Structure 1
């Protein structure tokens, strides 16, 4: 068997404790944080089992595993910290899971160029803590900061809660090292910008391990801001709120915090069940004079659109609990409980229609449908929808989650939105990619055939057949 040939060939390169083949331990790797996967775990179903798991402790380990998998013709699925909420790291064709969680080390902080270089398996929260002790910050703060790795951020094209100021991972990334399917190592970086042909970094960002395996990442860092101020506002309608945040973005202001909640989610965001209207959180940070001037300008735009300040406390309280995922976890842990988080994006001219289409299509499928807009650009914004509900059984809950995805993706395509803003594609969105752009699908498959001619890297994902 191919897996036996692989294990035999890798024995000399790795220690015995770097390989797992025990069936009970393998089931851990057949589930991530995708809510559908969580319900299948409760049902005792493990549809995405690897045949073996290998831990990489160095880039050399990754090279050795890739070469052995290539020689044996066996699928190789990279696994970061398992925090994907779309099934991006689940093996679809057995084979070997390459666990990168032990690919860690001390950050190399460059005080002159304001960059940091770390191995791909480093936990985001660990890196942020190390930088803060040196007076810096990543500016990258996804809700999964305490359960995701820097390599995973690159692989899934992640973004953070403060992206309206700092940008997504594609903006923060200086360079990275990557191992191809045949074991070749590529070093991709720009100093600080390169025009020697195409920017090949962009080819691999968001490729979810289908084109290569990230082993080391260099990111921008920023001095810790000397001043921060936040404020919350009641907003008369979603339309007025969208107008306000569009004006803020298109005026060139760079708030670190922008979160526009519809009336349903505002009750949770403010912890006030009687709030009764949409709510907008806005915050600015940096040099004191600049932050205060920008906040005053943003405040003026919000008030001009009917906003009324309710003080800083709601936004400050949210900042203190912004990594809390417990509501979703609590629903998923209950028999018949289900929850889902789906983020899409749209242009300013169509995002209102997208919000209406999404919430209308999803309303019959959950007890609560909550919506907010939290990443803004001069041309548009993200839309994040949270669904909470209870079914009679876990089986029914799993079916409901499947129905939710179908309704959400159909609504997004119908409203000319983007299928994903920052959670990636994984297994959840894969069936809808070709429907959004058949031409891109054909091109992506051609690129995959060149970079991974045997189709071994994370097969069954993205544009793979």
Structure 2
């Protein structure tokens, strides 16, 4: 009996034969996510990162059983949920087992007194948000992939949402969670509402991309649906002025729910108007009516100090209606030779303008269009999101161009001391640059990995591990 056949037999004994698959179609499907490079591989019939077996688990006990089999056999395990990663995080670099946790679903539990919701990790984020809103609650966590991503995926990739300038990222949303370690042990990490008994252990697994453990259940903060919302769009003289507005409002302590500064090239897309000739700023405040109105009034005054001109709420309303639309990128990727990529990075106020200028300069020769916006704002700086659209001779050439884009962008960010990812995480796209990006901190990550997964079985090949 072959090694794979023995593995399949062990897994079938552990979780039942119906949960275990070696069907070529299933193996092929789980060898890709929504990373554009992987999409191009799929169009060419290429499967460079394919598992030997896929196990679709139904509950935490199944996860424990699979990881114990993996530990006993020395077989690597790569966790996969809904496959919405855009950087290759759930792709198995050493074959082995793909642990499909998309069936870790079930009812959520709302605690209206403590204002939390507890939910299995495989639950679709959009379905959870819809159910919460029907009950009068919301997480206000809204990644563009809301309806394509899982709650556990948010934690594993350190995700953030479109309203993060007010509500923060997933690290601010999560109260606690359960995680299965490499040896099958289960740990519950929580703080109610804050704890100072040692380091905040909840942070260890956030953003770890399945390399340290498998998250099975999470408790998140919820709040009543905001009573009011104010929206406004502005024409801005230039990107420098727009960044000055973002910095000034942060310095004055505002917390608008929405801040999106588009450079002129992306402003034409955001406004659906090819004649737009200046950057555009989309803003939104929310909460109690008087507070939302007052915050918008102050934000408007700050924008006008830097030469911005209000153009009404309609452009923002239109964007809100289509903010989950991926079709431009998807259509281009689904054509022969078409390529598209999204790269989100971050830097401080002191350095963000130079990074913007440098990235545009090196990336413009590599695509037909380079579009940039700034959409997650902090007291010390902001994220920068780059969209590249282009066409090559064929899909092989498109794949090569995407590889060149990544190498060029990452090296430029390293040269400028920028954060290589703001919210898409590392995956295969950024793993080669992880050690240089994290520097001496990568030694801490390696020691954590050795302590929690000494045989290196969990999602190998990610985060420079």
Q: Report the TM-score when normalising by structure 2.
A: 0.99
Structure 2 equivalent of residue 365 of structure 1? 366
Structure 1 equivalent of residue 430 of structure 2? 429
- Residue-by-residue CA offset, 1:85-136 (whole Å, 9 max, x unaligned): 0001100000000001100011100000110000000000000001000101
After TM superposition, give the deviation of residue 417 of structure 1 in Å.
0.8
- Residue-by-residue CA offset, 1:128-153 (whole Å, 9 max, x unaligned): 00100010111110000010000000
Q: Decide whether the 8 Å contact of 1:260 with 1:374 is kept in 2.
A: yes
SS at match of 2:13: coil
Q: Distance in 2 between matches of 1:252 and 1:57?
A: 45
Q: How does 1:333-412 map to 2 (within 5 A)?
A: 333-412=334-413
Structure 2 equivalent of residue 133 of structure 1? 134
Determine whether 1:420 maps to 2:421: yes
Q: Decide whether the 8 Å contact of 2:11 with 2:20 is kept in 1.
A: no
Q: How does 1:60-459 map to 2 (within 5 A)?
A: 60-459=61-460
Q: Distance in 1 between matches of 2:10 and 2:92?
A: 21
SS at match of 1:13: helix
Structure 2 equivalent of residue 52 of structure 1? 53
Q: Decide whether the 8 Å contact of 1:178 with 1:185 is kept in 2.
A: yes
RMSD of aligned Cα (Å): 0.9
SS at match of 1:370: strand
| Structure 2 spans left out of the alignment, 5+ residues | none
Q: Decide whether the 8 Å contact of 1:236 with 1:277 is kept in 2.
A: yes
| Structure 1 spans left out of the alignment, 5+ residues | none
SS at match of 1:419: coil
After TM superposition, give the deviation of residue 11 of structure 1 in Å.
2.2
Q: Report the TM-score when normalising by structure 1.
A: 0.99
After TM superposition, give the deviation of residue 9 of structure 1 in Å.
2.2
After TM superposition, give the deviation of residue 7 of structure 1 in Å.
2.2
After TM superposition, give the deviation of residue 356 of structure 1 in Å.
0.6
SS at match of 1:449: helix
Q: Which 10-residue stretch deviates more, 29-38 or 3-12?
A: 3-12
Q: Which 10-residue stretch deviates more, 393-402 or 21-30?
A: 21-30
After TM superposition, give the deviation of residue 442 of structure 1 in Å.
2.2
After TM superposition, give the deviation of residue 2 of structure 1 in Å.
4.3
